[in-house]
Amino acid sequence: MILIAGSSNLDFVVRAHHIPAPGETVLGQDFQTFPGGKGANQAVACARAGGAVTHFLTGLGADAFAAPLEASLTGAQVQLHAVRPVGQPTGTAFICVSDAGENAITVAPGANRSLRPQHLPPLKGFSHLLMQLEIPLDTVQAYAQAAHATGVTVVLNAAPARALPQSLLDVVDVLIVNEGELAALTGPVGDTAARMAMLSSATVVVTLGARGCIARHHGQFYEQAAFAVDVVDSTGAGDTFCGALLAAWSAGADMAAALRRASAAAALACTRMGAQSSVPDVGEVNQFLHQHPQP
């Protein structure tokens, strides 16, 4: 079983010709709400795109915004462990999506800030713990240390980008970042491979957007090109990658196969609007891989 601990947000999404520059007002097009939050997105992807038995620990408010999040998670067969702090609203995210499929996101964490070390459930039976950085950093560190002490594989998607204490990185077995997040951890000096070498985790995966991804796994490097698709909305694609990758690993796939499967799931997610609403199911990923033997 996989345990994911992280954020849940209701996403308020506006499409526009382009993302506004500072001080600029842009006339938008369509407006929709979608279940989101990095943690919730990854939990849905792990269960739906990866077919893994997935539990999810998160904070939710006692408000109407929580309902679509709960429905999305339970609909994906995710076992929900919800902390409901008094007086805290459900987290929200305000997203502008350009006609090119790029996005700009502002998050109001709400109840996500109330997830504390004491809320971690017993870890017996879990093989992996996956976290992100939209919940308090001291909570992330406490969960990572507890999992490390019990032999659970600790996976950290270090997003949003920020510097992290070495004491946290020392107990992370698998680190997943994009190029900006990698630079926040190592500084901008050197190429991607050189910066990956500066990190102590046994496995480091760096997503490269339209260029695919690269991984260092126990000293060996792997590269996976991106699948070419018509991008509608890239929101949640990175989270889909993380969830599908972890599900593939937990099912015994080797690194090359796991990267390819995660890349396929992320590519499919880019062809649809929303975060969790864009996550493909296992059958769709299998069909896509059958139809796209390369890259």
Query: What positions carry a catalytic annotation?
Result: 239
Contact between 159 and 184 (Cβ < 8 Å): no
User: CA distances (Å), 74 to each of 47, 163, 164, in order?
Assistant: 10, 34, 32
CA gap 259, 285 in Å, rounded: 13
How many residues does the structure list for the chain?
295
**Helix/strand/coil for 284:** helix
Pairing of β 213-217 and β 203-207: antiparallel
CA gap 153, 42 in Å, rounded: 16
Sign of the torsion angle spanned by Cα atoms 188, 194, 200, 206: positive
User: CA distances (Å), 34 to each of 28, 51, 128, 131, 188, in order?
Assistant: 17, 22, 27, 21, 34
**Helix/strand/coil for 18:** coil
